[in-house]
Amino acid sequence: MNTSRRTAKSFAPGRIEIIGNHTDYNQGFVLSCALPQGVEAFVEQIESDNIFLNFTSDLAPEEFSFSAFTEPQATPGAWTNYPLGVIKYLREEGLEIPPCRIQFTSNLPAGAGLSSSAAIEIATATALLALSGTNLPPMDLARLCRRAENEFVGVNCGLLDQATSICGKAGHLLHLDFRSETYELYPLPPGHLFLVIPSGMKHSLVGGEYNERRTQCYEAARVLNVRALRDATFSALEAAADQMPEMVFRRARHIIGENQRVAECVAALQNNDMVAFGQAMTNSHQSSRLYFENSTEELDNLFEIAVSTPGVLGARLTGGGFGGAVVALAKASKASDAAKTIATRYLQRTGIHTTATPYVPADGARLLPTH
């Protein structure tokens, strides 16, 4: 092998959280899928002392470089933290990363709740592992990239984004178990797709609100004397209602309900009952709105418009909430008309322009030919 100019190219997709809201850090369940869109990373070993990072993107106009013989340092708010964190923890696993140039491109919107951050991490790791001819088991790779986001970038996300970006399969939904950190695949019955519709409001408060919800969930688990809310039942919660603040009770009610709704959706997939699947999504949104209070006026408007549009079987806010997007299950034959109707009605009601984009589940991260 010519080691002087080794190259590798990878692709890692974004993802949609289909159902299972805030369940990952409660050791519960999520249904998700990978998208056809994502991030490409092309890495080329070079004669230099440095590692260079480039992103063909309006968000990252300048080249970034650092000495390949030093530990990478984080720059607050910079996109480079995602690949740098991955480089740091790959090295801790014993991977030698030579001086190289990594060129990123993306066709995934950033900060839209489709997990462009995990796509950057997984694309980086997949390309660098290939460059050195090494492999990591999928969930180990997901955990390493989550660690980069948690500890290097400083975002306290669960494993959903990274696991889905790696393990997604075309035409399938992933059923993830966040206690065992394992997954199963279920085919999406033909004739259905998902519409993702941004509310136009970024999740600006997400940091503080997200951590507050996390703390409330852990508080409920402590009062219920269970390892995590995954182990709690509605009857145990009712019995302990007077031992916790009413707000904590409602947070727990949402998480227990979400885990049940994920199970209902798995049964619906097995029974080819997509009406029941859509109903569980709609119930999930109502629970978010009433009990978890992570919806917004815009998300509620979008939700109401989506579920009353012909061809839509159910809808809910997706991701952390407090802004971001709604995901709707639609009949493929009616999706194009539904997408136009939803955007028009949302503009009429709120004055906000949006686009409903159709997605079908796609494959997870992979290597691409370099020429």
Q: Summarize as ranges the residues that interact with Mg ion (CB under 5 A).
A: 115, 117
Which CB sits closer to ligand ADP, 75 or 134? 75
**Total residues at interface with ligand ADP (CB under 6 A):** 15
Residue 154 in the binding site for ligand ADP (CB under 6 A): no
Given Mg ion, ligand ADP, none, residue 310, with its beta carbon under 5 to 8 Å by kind, binds none
CA 256 vs CA 23, 116, 251, 292: distances in Å: 9, 29, 9, 11
Looking up tokens 């790696």 gives 166
Interface residue with ligand ADP, options 10, 21, 23, 106 (CB under 6 A): 106
Given ligand ADP, Mg ion, none, residue 106, with its beta carbon under 5 to 8 Å by kind, binds ligand ADP
Active site residue 49: no
Which CB sits closer to Mg ion, 17 or 264? 17
Tokens of 179: 């206690």
Q: In this chain, which stretch among 116-124, 126-134, 235-243, 333-341 interacts with ligand ADP, using CB under 6 A? A: 116-124
Q: What residues contact residue 331 under an 8 Å CB cut-off, 6+ apart?
A: 191, 192, 311, 313
Min dist. Cβ of residue 117 to Mg ion (A): 3
DSSP assignment string, 64-111: EEEETTS-----TT-TTHHHHHHHHHHHHTT----SEEEEEEE-S-TT
Residue 115 in the binding site for ligand ADP (CB under 6 A): yes
Which CB sits closer to ligand ADP, 147 or 345? 147
Backbone angles phi, psi at 209, to 5 degrees: -65, -40
Residues 23-82 binding ligand ADP (CB under 6 A) are 55, 57, 59-60, 79
Backbone angles phi, psi at 205, to 5 degrees: -95, 10
Backbone angles phi, psi at 50, to 5 degrees: -115, 160
Min dist. Cβ of residue 114 to ligand ADP (A): 6
* Catalytic site residue from 49, 58, 161, 337: 161
Which CB sits closer to ligand ADP, 120 or 176? 120
CB atoms within 10 A of CB 215: 12
Interface residue with ligand ADP, options 49, 67, 75, 111 (CB under 6 A): 111
> At 83, which amino acid appears?
P
Beta-sheet strands, E only, within 88-228: 100-106, 172-177, 182-187, 192-198
Residue 117 in the binding site for ligand ADP (CB under 6 A): yes
Interface residue with ligand ADP, options 46, 74, 110, 236 (CB under 6 A): 110
Tokens of 80: 């480079």
Backbone angles phi, psi at 315, to 5 degrees: -155, 160
Strands 50-55 and 64-67: antiparallel
Min dist. Cβ of residue 81 to ligand ADP (A): 7
Binding residues for ligand ADP, per CB under 6 A? 55, 57, 59-60, 79, 106, 110-117, 120
| Residue positions annotated with a catalytic role | 161
